[in-house]
Structure 1
Amino acid sequence: MDSISTNFTELLILVFILITFLQSGIDKATDWGGNTGWLKDHFSGTFLSGMVPLMVGIILIIEVITGLMAILAIWWLIAYGDTSMTLYTCVLACVTLLMLLFGQRVAKDYAGAFTLTGYFIVCMFGVYITS
């Protein structure tokens, strides 16, 4: 129980990552047609227009892995008081967000890209406090 009270910030960041990425990955899997259809329109006229299903598949896999890593990191933090899995999870979350940011910028969706900034700050704070 001491690891919960001494690592409260890390646990809250991990829960944030868990909710954000696992929900997003599950949504992409359960509404594949809706997501790919919207994104095909979103990326029309860009060099990424023909790669939407591949990109959605890659992001889906990485988001689910990030969410599952967050579960593992929560358990690791509570059981062992070790923040190494938290660091790896936060780094993967940052990389995933950078991939999403790249897509938003290519699509010239600057408002969407800006929205990702808040998520990125939370994840980078997790990297900062665990490294």
Structure 2
Amino acid sequence: MDSATLVRFLVTAFFAVTFLQSGLDKVLDRDGNLQYLTQHFGNSPLAPWVPQLLTAITVIELVAGGLCGLGLLLFDFRHPGMRVAGWGVAMAGVALLCLLFGQRLAKDYAGAAVIAAYFALVLIGLRAF
């Protein structure tokens, strides 16, 4: 396995695990997540829309994780180009931008900084595709 294929595999696997777990947690513990996020965004312009935004980010995360997971099952990462795994990594980038936007509006700058590291991994992964 060449290094580009290994990078595609590792990045795809990382985001499959990250976003499938996060999305499923939001589905299985919606009430707990909604309570936490309502408090977290209580003083931000997003406060009135927390339930709708939770649904939206849940869908985006599940799509990103699902595409990455499907890309792994299809061994899609073996081929360069934007196929299933590549689109999964791209959707991971969209999810991270949404999360970053929310963290910045909530003035959670430490949380936003963590998201930036994940986003850098998206860029590395997309470069490998």
Unaligned runs of 5+ in 1: none
| 8 Å contact kept, 2:23–2:59 | yes
Cross-structure match for 1:94: 93
1:57 match: 55
The equivalent residue for 2:36 is 38
Q: Distance in 2 between matches of 1:27 and 1:46?
A: 24
SS of 1:14 mapped into structure 2: helix
Aligned equivalent of 2:71: 73
How high is the TM-score relative to the length of structure 2? 0.90
Pair 74,43 (structure 1): closer, same or farther in 2 beyond 3 Å: same
Letter in 1 for 2:116: T
Distance 2:78 2:39 in 1: 46
Q: Which residue pairs with 1:122 in the alignment?
A: 121
Larger mean CA deviation between 83-92 and 34-43 belongs to: 83-92
Contact 2:12–2:71 (Cα < 8 Å) also in 1: yes
User: How far is 1:82 from its partner?
Assistant: 2.4
**Can you list the C-alpha shifts for 1:14-53, whole angstroms capped at 9, x where unaligned?**
1100011000001111110110101111111221101111
Specify whether residues 72 and 106 from structure 1 end up closer, same or farther in structure 2 by C-alpha distance, changes over 3 A only. Answer: same
Instruction: Give the whole-Å Cα distance in 1 for the aligned partners of 2:77 and 2:56.
Output: 32
- Counterpart of 1:43, as a letter, is F
C-alpha RMSD of matched pairs (Å): 1.5
2: CA distance between counterparts of 1:80 and 1:109? 34
The code of the aligned residue for 1:97 comes to L
Q: What's the TM-score once normalised by structure 1's chain length?
A: 0.89
Corresponding position of 1:27: 25
- Determine helix, strand or coil for the equivalent of 2:89: helix
Aligned length: 125
> 1:107 and 1:87, CA in 2 relative to 1: closer, same or farther beyond 3 A?
same
Percent identity reads 35
Distance 2:50 2:95 in 1: 16
- 8 Å contact from structure 2 (residues 12, 72) kept in 1: yes
